[in-house]
Structure 1
Amino acid sequence: MVLEYRFDESCSVKEVQDVFISSGIRRPVGDTNRIQKMIKHADEIITARADGKVVGFLRAITDYAYCCYISDIAVDKEYQGLGIGKQLIKMLRHRVGEEEIQYILTTAPKAVGFYEKIGFEKADKAFVIKRKIH
């Protein structure tokens, strides 16, 4: 298996929905318009493809000067454990910057160990206004 990584602003809504579903990440996969907006307004999108299929997806919002928020990082469950998530983050850091930028994300409890293992530190001073669910 050959993995191809690329900065890919043209990945389709369907590809993103599929990798969200196959990864187990909780996202509004049934809301096509919302997924389209998520793709359109991202500053950075990086994908990992296996035989053309998106098996890893990272979406980030950044000012390229001070902070970068990793909004989504999803890896198909069949491809987890191969270093794809780690590589997506490495590529983002190389592209956006390593010295001046602070990287921020929120995570599901099951993924905490992964992020700690690759160098993220837990932050205890974060605040959230939760989405209103209709």
Structure 2
Amino acid sequence: MSIKYEVNVPVTSDQFIELLRESTLGERRPIDDRDCMEGMVKNSNLMVTAWNDGKLIGIARSMTDFHYACYLSDLAVHREYQKKGIGKRLQIITQGELGPKCKLILVAAPAANSYYEHLGFKNNPRCWVLDREQNIGS
């Protein structure tokens, strides 16, 4: 198995959706909302990908200013390739693209807490989420 890692190479919405379906993230992402998925791919400014024979098998999709904060929105690895160090490598390459003081921030699914702790992330209970459906100020 020869895995090739790339930074900011084009990824189609179909490739992204297929990878999410074949990883645990498909359950928590709007994979049936084509416009949303296309926007997620188009508007990310840092994507590190893993490929095997031209097939997308892993992605670290982020939004960042490269100096202070990087939000790692999606870290997904195809089920058949999990537990081979691909997710860790995607995260390491992502960090390598950032400035020395840039924090890598993510929101983990409860089942993934031990995985991120193993990678060296520290739990921070100060994350807040405001869903769009909620009326601000009411």
**Structure 1 match to 2:129:** 128
Rg comparison, structure with higher value: 2
Distance 2:94 2:55 in 1: 20
**Structure 2 match to 1:11:** 11
Contact 1:9 1:44 survives alignment (8 Å)? no
Shift of 1:68: 0.5
- Structure 2 length normalisation: TM-score? 0.91
Shift of 1:8: 3.3
**Structure 1 match to 2:69:** 67
The one-letter amino acid of 1:12's match is: T
3-state SS, counterpart of residue 22 of structure 2: helix
Contact 2:20 2:76 survives alignment (8 Å)? yes
**Structure 2 match to 1:105:** 106
**Structure 1 match to 2:21:** 21
The one-letter amino acid of 1:4's match is: K
**Structure 2 match to 1:114:** 115
Gaps of 5+ in 1: none
Contact 1:28 1:34 survives alignment (8 Å)? yes
Among the aligned pairs, what percent are the same residue? Answer: 34
Q: Among residues 46, 49, 62, which one is paired with 1:47 in the alignment?
A: 49
Shift of 1:131: 4.3
3-state SS, counterpart of residue 49 of structure 1: strand
- Structure 1 length normalisation: TM-score? 0.93
Shift of 1:32: 1.4
Gaps of 5+ in 2: none
Equivalent pairs, count: 132
Shift of 1:67: 0.5
